[in-house]
Structure 1
């Protein structure tokens, strides 16, 4: 666990960002999260203070404190209205059982969106604790939130089988940030036609291969910027051509720019798990990790 600004032990009223090797958790007020964007990861949104207004398939607005959103949904202001509430946004691990486990407990309101976690009070209490108290270990913080979100009776269950060919392609993409293999190469490696691979991957991941690659590069750049490196450094290290390229893709993935996340007040309190740092250490090539 590290933070280049050494602010882990300050009382956390600033937005807090916790990053693991496959998951991210944002805890705070989304004053700048106004631009519409298409989700590239499954999200569990929890309103810690205030309420969410979520539009149902019938066009009515449902008031809730918890909302599960799949990958591939375009988040418009009228789809999920947070009214600048204090939120916990849990970016779920790709190709995991988390989304299905959560969906099995909640109520679907249309377009793959689910609301009303059965134990909202416990979830809100857990995320509020992680937001406001010093983080002893990132493993403990993750455990506190996940135990509230997913009952032990559901943990470890397999709700969905993932095709090993899609998993192979995802792993290959993650391993080659700078030398991105072509669709033809990926298809050949898993013995599929290009069109069949494109269809299979989107079914499994919820987004096309090209968007998955961009999402992962943005994720890696987020870890690097959370360590205190500049946007330009993060862009080049994570496979973008320059800082403008990263900013454009970051906004497409997150609805905000990296500068508004890391460089503008209220300055975010970034807390990184060792598993996240291990992903970027080879890229830093001996540069210090504070």
Structure 2
């Protein structure tokens, strides 16, 4: 399923999924079923083909080709109608400047949603190029996409300061998939009360600590399944109790089940950066080779 040299040869009819250590990018090739779910991550949604309509405020729906969505938004057809769209979705790196940089280059339409990237045509061309180019590395793909999304004068700018105590908590959660440190332990480690930690984390991460933990486990399971492991193997390795637990959480985070993502035609092609495979290497020690 995955080319371990980070180079992939596919037809343009196959959806692609690029995975780095902090970002994920899905590039579709067909109109997919739209299921309602609540976002747990900042998303840049791009309509590669077809129509995308957003109704985030008063007035008629807005037709757009680009849409920036924050965490905690209930995505259904009343808000975003994408049943006639072939989508590219860029899952932004958490605790980064990406969302703010993109928002400064777009128009807010309500509910924290931004539309109309200042250079939509360049963004669409970049995603189509990355999707359709027969041979491409993860480094090339990331560079092409980010140069189109975030103008060079905005790259490297600091739009938002994050509390270092929250970054410490997030790092601890990522490091301990199976041990699950309690809220009390996390709060004591950064000298905050539990209530204060919960409030600050939700303000800056956009979601509660418990959901952040689940989202990261789902992300790790995605990498493992992209390497060819089964849903059951990925569930246990990523800290879920069983495959049903993973499937339920995966659907809550992504709006689809892992089996529909990795097992059903037209067979998603996952391309992993070495930064992503290094995250799961310790978990896969002693596992049978795929």
Q: Same fold (TM over 0.5)?
A: yes
RMSD, aligned α-carbons: 1.7
Unaligned runs of 5+ in 2: none
Unaligned runs of 5+ in 1: none
Q: 2-side partners of 1:129 and 1:222: how far apart?
A: 24
Q: Deviation string for 1:111-140 (max 9, x for gaps)?
A: 000000010010000000011112421011
Q: 2-side partners of 1:180 and 1:85: how far apart?
A: 39
Q: 2-side partners of 1:211 and 1:249: how far apart?
A: 10
Deviation at 1:3, TM superposition (A): 2.9
Q: 1-side partners of 2:155 and 2:289: how far apart?
A: 34
Deviation at 1:12, TM superposition (A): 2.9
Moved more, 83-92 or 197-206: 83-92
Partner of 1:43: 43
Specify whether residues 266 and 206 from structure 1 end up closer, same or farther in structure 2 by C-alpha distance, changes over 3 A only.
same
Q: How does 1:1-290 map to 2 (within 5 A)?
A: 2-3=2-3, 8-29=8-29, 31-287=31-287
**Equivalent position SS for 1:153:** helix
Q: Deviation string for 1:164-190 (max 9, x for gaps)?
A: 011010000000000000000000000
Q: Deviation string for 1:247-273 (max 9, x for gaps)?
A: 000000000000000011111011000
For the 8 Å contact 1:30–1:84, the answer to whether it is kept is no
Specify whether residues 208 and 33 from structure 1 end up closer, same or farther in structure 2 by C-alpha distance, changes over 3 A only.
farther
Moved more, 207-216 or 73-82: 73-82
Specify whether residues 289 and 25 from structure 1 end up closer, same or farther in structure 2 by C-alpha distance, changes over 3 A only.
farther
For the 8 Å contact 1:2–1:273, the answer to whether it is kept is no
Deviation at 1:288, TM superposition (A): 6.1
**Equivalent position SS for 2:168:** helix
Q: 2-side partners of 1:75 and 1:157: how far apart?
A: 30
For the 8 Å contact 1:223–1:277, the answer to whether it is kept is yes
Q: 1-side partners of 2:157 and 2:227: how far apart?
A: 35
Specify whether residues 33 and 188 from structure 1 end up closer, same or farther in structure 2 by C-alpha distance, changes over 3 A only.
farther
Specify whether residues 79 and 29 from structure 1 end up closer, same or farther in structure 2 by C-alpha distance, changes over 3 A only.
farther
Q: 2-side partners of 1:48 and 1:278: how far apart?
A: 31
Q: Which runs of 4+ in 1 moved over 4 A?
A: 29-33
For the 8 Å contact 2:32–2:86, the answer to whether it is kept is no
For the 8 Å contact 2:100–2:159, the answer to whether it is kept is yes
For the 8 Å contact 2:12–2:29, the answer to whether it is kept is no
**Equivalent position SS for 1:264:** coil
Q: Deviation string for 1:65-103 (max 9, x for gaps)?
A: 000000111101221111242111000000000000000
For the 8 Å contact 2:13–2:29, the answer to whether it is kept is no
